[in-house]
Amino acid sequence: MVSVVISVRIPKELKERLERLDVNVSEVVREMLERYVEEVEGRILAERLRRLHERLAGRVDPALIAKLVREDRVNNQPTPS
């Protein structure tokens, strides 16, 4: 996996507290960003599904939609690092 460096300015006091607690900032930030991106992608997917549901209301079996969503989730899971 190719990685890039990002930098963030934080108050000096926060940096000192993180150091005192021996927090691995890179790991914490990476995990939080992954969760955030998954959450945003989930909201986008939910909105797309809502619009699709409106367009297809009464035309498609809800069980089929659920099956397709499950398949999409399985096929689009991130690969472990």
pLDDT (tens digit, 9 = 90+) per residue, 18-56? 999 999 999 999 999 999 999 999 999 999 999 988 887
The answer to the question of residue 8 being in a domain is no
The answer to the question of residue 67 being in a domain is yes
- The pLDDT of residue 62 is 79
Q: Which two tokens stand for residue 80?
A: 């472990």
The band of 81, judged by pLDDT with boundaries at 50, 70 and 90, is: low
The count of domains in the chain is 1
**Mean pLDDT of all residues in the chain?**
91
By residue range, what is the domain housing residue 17?
Answer: 13-75
Cα gap 31→28, rounded to integer Å: 5
The answer to the question of residue 60 being in a domain is yes
Q: For the chain, what percent of residues have pLDDT higher than 90?
A: 64
